[in-house]
Amino acid sequence: MILKANGECIASDVEFAESYFQQIKGLMFRKQLPMESALIFVMDKAKTISIHMLFVNFPIDVLFLDENKNILKISTLRPWTGFAWSRDTRYIIEMNAGMASKSSLKAGEKLSFRSGTD
């Protein structure tokens, strides 16, 4: 579950991409992502990260988070051609396009979730 600081639930069904293979694959080849779902990439340390949309068939919102789970940047990416990057990123959250806006997320906001490595 991904929560805002005020306790509001952003995504109730969460997958984690912690291994190198899981991170390379991401959402590629999926037909859709259920509405209340998100994929969280957990990096071993904060670094410059880029995301591409090759073989992703639907638009997504991408949240780049720092070591403290504060949102650094929010991007909405189109299928197949989208691309985004950010510095000092430790976590990436991918969810259906429009979910960041629907949840009124902003850069600087802190999120909470727990992965197997937290």
Cα dist from 66 to 15, 31, 91, whole Å: 19, 29, 6
Query: Do residues 83 and 46 make contact, with C-beta atoms less than 8 angstroms apart?
Result: no
- pLDDT score recorded for residue 114: 81
**What domains are there in the chain, each with its CATH number?**
2-111 (2.60.120.1140)
Q: Region 97-112: what's the mean pLDDT?
A: 96
pLDDT tens across 48-103, in order? Answer: 999 999 999 999 999 999 999 999 999 999 999 999 999 999 999 999 999 999 99
pLDDT tens across 14-57, in order? Answer: 999 989 999 999 999 999 999 999 999 999 999 999 999 999 99
